[in-house]
Structure 1
Amino acid sequence: MSGSRRKRGGGRSSADEECSTRGGSASVSGYSSSSSATVYPVQLSPAVLNKIGNDCLVNRDYNEALRYYEEAIAITPDDCKLHCNRAGALIGLMRYPEAMAEFELAINLAPRRYQPRHDFGLWLLSLGQVENATDHLYSLGHKPDEATSQKLEAVKEHINKCTEARIVEDWATMKIESKAAFTSGADSSPQLFACRAEAHLKLNDLEYAETWIYIARMHKPFTARESKIFGMVSEAYVFFVQAQIHSSVGKFAAAVTAIEKAAQIDNQNAEVTDELENIRLVVEAHKHGDEHFCSERYEQACTSYGEGLWVDSSNPVLYYNRANCWSKLGEWEKSLADSNRALLYWPQYAKALHLRAASNIKLKRWADAVRDYEILRQELPRDQEVAANLSHARAELRREAPEGKVELVSDVEKFQAVIASGESVVYFNELTNPECAWMSSVMDTLSAKYPSVIFLKVVVEQSRAAAENITTLPRFRLYKDGSRVGTATLDVLEIMIKDNLIDPI
């Protein structure tokens, strides 16, 4: 009976042609036989093992590829090509430090061969390590092809623009340029992922900041030959950004761990050492504040949290904690102010939104309370306390709203004439919308607060032309001298009125 040879994973390989058998069946490295005859091991050649490994690599089966390359290397340990291929499998497994060591071994084995240096340079380029990549791609009198050269220059240009944007704190540009560096070829760069995370952090988008720093850490940052970004060792920069994000979301112990790692890697960088001191001060202030709060010493707790904010004036957790202390002291205006600051730096901070809504209830600012509880109701549809507070705030808003301030417009010509006459806010809705009544009350309140602005209501069933092809309802639009200057939802309507329609004093 002829023994069947089965490749690991179940498939049959062309490598079987190289296998010889005795007694009818053979067991080869990586293969098994079901024959009961005497088995004699036959070893595949390094070339065949390399080919099987390459096939696995193409199919992204990195663990299998690694096994075959290692079997081949065990036979011919001085083959630089095998070490380069093993590095490729390690890259697929995101074992970057090992991959770097493997490339360096390949180069040492064949110091006059360009190919290992070229392959290493391409990988370093994908990591955004432009200087190191350039050294390898332009070595031994060689240079890369035109496409690689263009990619190298594009990544370098976008990283330089990131650096310029960071110096002037132009975080929006830094976000755009870090993404452009990624799409240009640096698509595995932990420091560029961290760059995007830092930009999102500074733009007060903590959710995206956490996502991108997680991706950066998944790529296991490491430093090849002291690669730097923004004057900081690249690996240290990832921990530096991670520490800031942890601190902003209240993970203070993790923040200390991350910034201490950054300092261990790059203890000569002033940004790193300054941030290490700052985070330690913030953590200490937060600890003392919590101790005072738990002992109901709310004034002392306010002072401690304030000391932390003196060091980090954009920390939303410290603002929320202090706002909570003010609420315990019945200082609702101060509680509202600190809640607003917390939400400015972390717009999705649910605890701060709860506290702001409660402060608005206490201060009888019904329109603002309705706005906050509407958002909370969407996030917590089964929360009975939220539902009750929303119902209460709506009832009070309807009861206290002034009469006859918002004009209902159904004639398109009148609509156009009114919006051309000055500053105006138009509320578009449907008769069947259950929120129509209380949102009209919000408009009444705003019209009393901003008498220089004209407030209109358009019911789309009555005037499709005036509705201006609006498909999402309810919706607010702002006009100035006949030109639309903005579209808003209720939660940002008053801010947009102030920014776009009210002249500063």
Structure 2
Amino acid sequence: MAAELDKMILDHQRVKGTTQLVRATSGNMMLHRNLGNLNAGVPGASARSSLERNPANKPANERKATNGYAFSGLGNIVKEPRAPPASSELCRALSHRTDPEKLKEMGNEEYREGHYAEAVALYDQAIMVDPTRPAYWSNKAAALAALGRLIEAVGDCREAVRIDPSYGRAHHRLGGLYLRLGEPDKAIHHFKQSANDSTGADVSRAQSVKSRVAKCGDARKLRNWITVLQESQAAVADGADCAPQVMALQAEALVKLSRHDEADAVLGGAPRFGVDESTKFFGTVAHAYVLMIRAQVDMAAGRFEDAVATAQTACQLDPSNREIANVHRRAKVVASARQRGNDLFKASRFAEACAAYGEGLDRETGNAVLLCNRAACHARLARYEKAVEDCNGALAMRPAYSKARLRRADCNVKLERWEASLRDYQVLIQELPENEDVKKALSEVEAKLRSQRNGGIASRSQQLL
């Protein structure tokens, strides 16, 4: 078994850069790109397995990379192995016989090729063999950061500087992680500890983020949402691109400015950390604020049940916060009104459904989903003008809301406003190019307009005669 493991290392060195299987036999079922699976069952292992810390408890090839980073799966390509040895035996053999430097070099190769999950698994194995080498922890942190697992990366970088407080590269990496997560004071501290690796520009960027976040706080108190938006966007540009609080400030400003689609896009692109993980890292109050804003964005997007659940979690984290309590109460009222309206609509009680949606709009003015639902009630009651007004309001909040645009186009057809309807259908055919109903409706409206124009020409000709 030990000979097989040594052979695996040699084979990998011969085929540098390949992503194929290095060696797999009935005596050695360890894959070059699946080394992380060997963490299980190692007695006394001091390294933390990155795969065991997968929050979704899924195989790596089923997880999606966050924050736009590349991700390569760890799928096991060997099928039905014959008499595979116990994983614990392989782990013991690996721990005793494999040089951790070779594992680090293999991890470096995987990292350079963009196979970050495989690199993490290899660095984990090197740490298992020798946990006293700070470079192993620092390199693993780099791979975790590339996967968007920034808080885990911070923990490994901190371990590297604990082992060697003078390790400049780890301090620099740690400073960069803290900056991305919106912790500028800690970033500045670690940048200054890595004099040879950091530059004055690194410290300046961290100081800029600190200043911009402070300006956001002041502008928020004054309800100056334009300034909050500008400063939070600038903070992201300065390096705080994964900072939940900064992203939340940006999303809150967009919601207050009635730019709901943009707010949803901002939070949709932000990294999501677990409640316990975020509370421990950022603090209870800070994480509760992020959840409160996420609840408001969920409401604006029509995810009412999600909004209620998220606001409730925020209340539990910061029970004395009146603003969070108000958001929670409002979310419950709006969710209830939407559900009641839906039930009445299904029962063809359109006037009552219209009133129910109106109650929700009393608490959440300008909610695009409630406006669109109320427009449907107006349309069923042949109140097409009112339906168009509600659709106008919904599209003002969410310009890409296809359902509201489709409903407005249909109501304008009923009102014989062919040109207004044509404009909406021309937008819809770009958004929904395969939708047969839209194609048909567009064709019919174009035919009506041609007929109308031709009729006008004929009428003018008769007058001339």
Please give the TM-score of this superposition, normalised by the length of structure 2: 0.68
Kept in 1, the 8 Å contact 2:264–2:301? The answer is no
Residues 1:67 and 2:121 aligned together: yes
- Separation in 1, partners of 2:427, 2:29: 67
Q: Report deviation, 1:213.
A: 1.9
* Runs (5+) with no aligned partner, structure 1: 15-25, 33-39, 405-505
Counterpart selection for 1:227 from 269, 282, 297: 282
2:14 corresponds to which letter in structure 1?
Answer: R
Higher relative contact order (CA 8 A, sep 6+): 2
What does 1:348-497 align with in structure 2 at a 5 Å threshold? Answer: 348-379=400-431, 382-383=436-437, 384-392=440-448, 395-396=451-452
Residue-by-residue CA offset, 1:135-186 (whole Å, 9 max, x unaligned): 5445799996422211211222333344445445555554443333233222
Equivalents in 2 of 1:342, 1:208: separation in Å?
14
In 2: Cα distance, 1:165 partner to 1:392 partner:
52
CA displacement at 1:315 relative to structure 2: 0.4
Q: Distance in 2 between matches of 1:285 and 1:378?
A: 33
**C-alpha separation between the residues in 1 aligned to 2:309 and 2:10?**
43
Conserved? CA contact 1:107–1:117, under 8 Å: yes
Q: CA deviation at 1:343?
A: 1.4
1:94-144 per-position Cα deviation (integer Å, ceiling 9, x unaligned): 233433333444455556877655542331112222233345445799996
Gap runs ≥5 in structure 2: 17-27, 36-92, 461-465
Between Structure 1 and Structure 2, which shows a larger proportion of strand residues? 1
Mapped contact 1:118–1:144 kept (Cα < 8 A): yes
| Structure 2 partner of 1:85 | 139
Does residue 338 of structure 1 match 2:387? no
- Looking at structure 2, the residues matched to 67 and 375 of structure 1 have their Cα atoms a distance apart, in angstroms, of 48
Separation of aligned partners in 2, 1:289 and 1:154: 48
Q: How does 1:105-144 map to 2 (within 5 A)?
A: 105-109=159-163, 116-137=170-191
2:207 matched to 1:159? no
Superposed CA offset, 1:236-287 (max 9, x none)? 4443333333322322222223333433444444333221221111101111
Aligned to 1:347: 399
Q: Is the 8 A contact 2:171 2:194 kept in 1?
A: no
Query: In 2, distance between residues paired with 1:292 and 1:81?
Result: 64
Q: In structure 1, what residue type is equivalent to 2:278?
A: T
Structure 1 residue 318, shift from structure 2 partner: 0.5
From the superposition, tell whether residues 300 and 121 of structure 1 become closer, same or farther in structure 2 (CA, over 3 Å): same
How many Å separate the matches in 1 of 2:29 and 2:405?
68
Amino acid at match of 1:189: A
| Shift in alpha-carbon separation, 1:182–1:174, aligned structure 2, 3 A | same
Q: Which amino acid aligns with 1:276?
A: H
Letter in 2 for 1:242: R
Question: Counterparts of 1:246-395 in structure 2 under 5 Å?
Answer: 246-379=298-431, 382-383=436-437, 384-392=440-448, 395=451
Separation of aligned partners in 2, 1:204 and 1:343: 11
**344 and 189 in structure 1: CA distance in 2 versus 1, 3 angstrom threshold:** same
- The Cα of 1:197 is off from its aligned counterpart by 4.2
Amino acid at match of 2:301: V
User: Is the CA contact (8 Å cut-off) linking 1:256 and 1:276 kept in structure 2?
Assistant: yes
SS of the residue 1:223 aligns to: helix
By how many angstroms is 1:89 displaced?
2.5
Q: Could you tell me whether the CA contact under 8 Å between 1:369 and 1:393 is conserved in 2?
A: no
In structure 2, what residue type is equivalent to 1:288? R
Q: Report the AA paired with residue 311 of structure 1.
A: R
Distance 2:430 2:247 in 1: 32
- Name the CA distance, whole Å, in 2 between partners of 1:351 and 1:58: 45
Give the direction of change, closer, same or farther, for the CA distance of 1:355–1:140 in structure 2 (3 Å limit). closer
Cα drift, residue 371 of structure 1: 3.0
What is the rounded CA distance, in whole Å, between the counterparts of 1:337 and 1:30 in structure 2?
62
| Counterpart in the other structure of 1:53 | 107
Letter matched to residue 77 of structure 1? P
From 77, 94, 104, give the equivalent of 2:148.
94
| Compared CA separation, residues 335 and 400, structure 1 to 2 (3 A) | farther
Higher helix share: 2
Change (3 A) 1:286 1:393: farther
Q: 1:216 aligns with which of 254, 270, 273?
A: 270
Contact 2:285 2:317 in 1 (8 A): no
Whether contact under 8 Å (1:121, 1:132) holds in the other structure is yes
When residues 12 and 237 of structure 1 are mapped into structure 2, their CA distance, relative to the original with a 3 A threshold, is farther
Q: In the superposition, relative to structure 1, how do residues 380 and 185 fare at CA in structure 2: closer, same or farther (>3 Å)?
A: closer
Q: Give the residue type in structure 1 aligned to 2:383.
A: E
Cα–Cα, structure 1 residues 49 and 372, in superposed 2: closer, same or farther, change >3 Å?
Answer: closer
Name the residue aligned to 2:85.
none
How far apart are 1:200 and its partner, in Å? 4.5
For 2:334, give the aligned amino acid: V
* Counterpart code for 2:338: H
Tell me the CA shift for residue 71 of structure 1: 2.3
Count of residues in Structure 1 that have an aligned counterpart in Structure 2: 382
Matched, 1:178 2:232: yes
Q: TM-score, normalised by structure 1?
A: 0.63
Structure 2 counterpart SS, 1:120: helix
Q: 2:14 corresponds to which residue?
A: 12
Q: Is the 8 A contact 2:188 2:203 kept in 1?
A: no
Distance 1:204 1:110, change over 3 A: same
Q: Aligned residue for 1:241? A: 293
| Kept after mapping to 1: 8 A contact 2:154/2:177 | no
Q: Percent identity?
A: 30
Distance 1:372 1:50, change over 3 A: closer
What is the RMSD of the two structures over their aligned residues, measured on CA atoms?
A: 4.2
1:27 offset after TM fit, Å?
13
User: Is the contact made by 2:172 and 2:194 (CA closer than 8 Å) also made in structure 1?
Assistant: no
> For residues 125 and 109 of structure 1, what CA distance do their matches in structure 2 show?
22
Q: Deviations over 1:341-390 (max 9, x none)?
A: 11111122222222223333344444433433443444456432342244
Shift of 1:310: 0.9
Residue 156 of structure 2 aligns with an amino acid whose one-letter code is E
Q: 1:283 to 1:354 in 2, by over 3 A?
A: same
